Structure 1
């Protein structure tokens, strides 16, 4: 047979094998990413819906809610989400290594650690009004924000269980139940908000009551699912073993929390900076609307990051470095494709976005002025994939956001008088620096070394189950 023909046949065969491998990997990714993304989109979507209902009450209420939701709530949620990422890593590796009983122990440890962390954060919500005044925010906005802050306390304790249970279930590919619970709660939240705010005219209490009811609805459904026997391999009931090795798990949890919090808090700092602009109420309202759109899209990214964490952790726990590396490449490629799609959608519907959240023409015009920057931020909002190296990611985020993004934003916004646009340009430059750096670090990752680290960690923290004793 002709040599060129043989080469062509081999290339075709190899190309077909690669397509098949990519397709198989995509199905594995979507099995985790779809319910994870659905959960995060609908869960965060409740914040966006609440903002929309409150935003149509008045500009002051919109600015007050925005301050609390983006600064204090995101502050606490970032800590819970970040610390729960350690649960995701540990449960994913335990599932890959077939140490199923350890997953229930890791879940209980995360409840203990996160409950303590959440309780320590309570003063921030109780004293939100004086804190915001101290930071220089307008008095009427700060007073209203302090009132809204108290309503968020029950919601935050619901987060505690919701976030940790989600990590536990998705590691064993059972998080579809959370996706459906979150989707149902989202629909209920829209319905209750419409009844309580639009029909009964309860205002802020009505919007926040709906938020509390629907968030605890999800928690109740999750607890019934776990305790009802649908996780027989991984849930063996409460055990005293959950108090063992708390300190090393806490250390890993803090590293994970810092990685995500530094990114989420970055946007809170930017909102605070917007609060010092002329006509601060409008600046905060418009900026927060755009940031919530970015954050909502970021929830979809987090679904992919969760999938990447689960897939990589499973393969590392199983000792397969090549499969972990291939999964990461496919995940990043799919995430970039989604970024292009949402970039285009933001440009197409830019003139209508502001009206979803406010009837105030000044706010709507300000949102429209930021629409181009918003679309590029959405494209760049692919976030950080740590590949199990949370400490390195934390350093990268610190340098990118706080040593580059914030100073540039202040310089452009205040000294060059670009106002909110200047702050946003600084933010984009920080995100670009983060994306390039993390992309390089992921490309240079020694996956065989990551397998070794995962194996050592699993063996060090392994507790024998009662069935093995």
Structure 2
């Protein structure tokens, strides 16, 4: 055979293999594109909703910040320390509903979603009542934590208003996770946008026009937090979720203990993350010139938090996609000038500019870590990740921050560097956990949980009996 003929023969023999590779590549591209579309269906409304919800606090902070630095510091410490304390517990406990609803929806057990939602209402309402003393006795608590008395005097007034905000989290978190599991969270984005616009107008009306000060700001804040909840509850219970909401049921009081245990492990995972920044604020409050340091840090945390809403949107999307696929049994599918918005103080603005490099690095980490946490929630790993967060944040991050901030003398910079180091270590650990996971085993685990808690669908049984007759 000639060399030319041999080359043609080899080419013909290799062509099917090359075609196979091209088809595999096209198939992979199509899978990636389809999965991306599914992610964005959840992520886009979730990102917008989180921007809007976070924007409520930012708008309040911007209006209150122009009352004076003491009012700004008091608002910041109330929302960043006290509210984040309870927010961490409630959001973490509600993430158990995210796991259960996502997996049940993937397994076509639609009737269970409404029962899980009602069980979560019972558990979270009881928890919120237990958290009320934190706000009622906020003055002595903040003084015991070393905060300045002049700041605490204003903070304890704001804390009483925040009780209403805290109760708003019960329907807010649960309805969001209930709707996200079904990819029906566009309604959440719409009502969040409306509430944000209402909040801006009310804040101007009550604080600027009528000069009601903190009372006006907190009244507008309460309205902005509760308005979306009313709309979500009406949507869920009045026909927006016919397949998954079958009305109120006494079954909601059945098997509460397993749901409570999963909620507690979920709460342990997320609250340790959310409390981390609160400790950063508390450590800063004990530094020299705490008022300026607290105001600057609060502004940086808000700018960082605004960016983090994008990552948290993908946390929700990753959690929904992982839990849906596990339920289906599919293991393979599973800088300084900005500060003037918030304050007129030159000292605070200068401090914000000085912290900007750390803010940039924090934004980088926030682009990765929440998505990994979303995978953990979707897979139901909350118990394991609780220990990871405890070790990385509280045994590595905080001690590093204390040493750099107080011993080395880097002050707020040192505290923040240490905290960021803890987040970096946690991100690395979650990456390793995700890469080494046996997803077939995760399918078996999720199906065992679903089968243990499932209640027979009475309407399906009736329809089946009628058809047999």
Instruction: Give the TM interval when normalised to the shorter protein.
Output: over 0.9
Corresponding residue for residue 267 of structure 2: 257
Figure out how many residues of one structure are paired with residues of the other and give that number: 444
Corresponding residue for residue 342 of structure 2: 357
Q: Secondary structure at 1:373's aligned position in 2? A: helix
Alpha-carbon distance, 1:6 to partner:
5.5
2:446 is the alignment partner of 1:454: yes
Structure 2 stretches lacking a partner, 5+ long? 1-7, 463-469
- Deviations, residues 123-180 of structure 1 (Å, cap 9, x unaligned): 0011111111111110000111001111111111111111101100111111110111
Corresponding residue for residue 246 of structure 2: 236
Q: What is the TM-score of this pair, normalised by structure 1?
A: 0.92
- Deviations, residues 87-116 of structure 1 (Å, cap 9, x unaligned): 011011111111111100000000000000
Alpha-carbon distance, 1:4 to partner:
6.1
Equivalent residue for 2:415, pick from 395, 399, 423: 423
- Deviations, residues 157-209 of structure 1 (Å, cap 9, x unaligned): 11111110110011111111011111111111112112222222211111111
Q: Secondary structure at 2:458's aligned position in 1? A: coil
Q: Distance in 2 between matches of 1:4 and 1:462?
A: 52
2:333 is the alignment partner of 1:323: yes
Question: Runs of at least 4 residues of structure 1 off by over 6 A?
Answer: none
Corresponding residue for residue 328 of structure 1: none
- Deviations, residues 378-431 of structure 1 (Å, cap 9, x unaligned): 110133231321111111111111011100100000111101000011011101
2:296 is the alignment partner of 1:296: no
Q: Secondary structure at 2:75's aligned position in 1? A: helix
Corresponding residue for residue 439 of structure 1: 431
Task: Please give the root-mean-square deviation of Cα atoms over the aligned residues, in Å.
Answer: 1.3
Q: Distance in 2 between matches of 1:10 and 1:438?
A: 35
Q: Distance in 1 between matches of 2:307 and 2:266?
A: 21
Alpha-carbon distance, 1:297 to partner:
2.4
Corresponding residue for residue 220 of structure 1: 230
Equivalent residue for 1:367, pick from 335, 341, 352: 352
Equivalent residue for 2:88, pick from 78, 83, 91: 78
Q: Secondary structure at 2:329's aligned position in 1? A: coil
Q: Distance in 2 between matches of 1:155 and 1:420?
A: 29
Q: Secondary structure at 2:425's aligned position in 1? A: helix
Corresponding residue for residue 27 of structure 2: 17
Equivalent residue for 2:173, pick from 163, 176, 187: 163
Corresponding residue for residue 54 of structure 1: 64
Alpha-carbon distance, 1:216 to partner:
1.4
- Deviations, residues 61-101 of structure 1 (Å, cap 9, x unaligned): 01000000000101111111111100011011111111111
Corresponding residue for residue 79 of structure 2: 69
Q: Distance in 2 between matches of 1:313 and 1:166?
A: 15
Alpha-carbon distance, 1:14 to partner:
2.8
Q: Secondary structure at 1:323's aligned position in 2? A: coil
Corresponding residue for residue 383 of structure 2: 391
- Deviations, residues 267-305 of structure 1 (Å, cap 9, x unaligned): 111100000100011111111111122223223222111
2:365 is the alignment partner of 1:380: yes
Bigger-Rg structure (1/2): 2
Q: Distance in 1 between matches of 2:448 and 2:303?
A: 41
Alpha-carbon distance, 1:29 to partner:
0.3
Corresponding residue for residue 409 of structure 1: 401
Q: Distance in 2 between matches of 1:230 and 1:424?
A: 45
2:203 is the alignment partner of 1:183: no
Alpha-carbon distance, 1:9 to partner:
4.4
Q: Distance in 2 between matches of 1:77 and 1:44?
A: 13
Structure 1 residues 147 and 450 mapped into 2: Cα distance closer, same or farther (>3 Å)?
Answer: same
Q: Distance in 2 between matches of 1:446 and 1:18?
A: 21
Corresponding residue for residue 273 of structure 1: 283
Taking the TM superposition and a 5 Å limit, the aligned residue runs for 1:141-156 are 141-156=151-166
Structure 1 residues 465 and 10 mapped into 2: Cα distance closer, same or farther (>3 Å)?
Answer: closer
Q: Distance in 2 between matches of 1:45 and 1:375?
A: 20
Equivalent residue for 1:208, pick from 211, 215, 218: 218
Alpha-carbon distance, 1:120 to partner:
0.3
Taking the TM superposition and a 5 Å limit, the aligned residue runs for 1:130-149 are 130-149=140-159
Structure 1 stretches lacking a partner, 5+ long? 325-349
Q: Distance in 2 between matches of 1:263 and 1:125?
A: 21
Equivalent residue for 1:173, pick from 178, 183, 189: 183
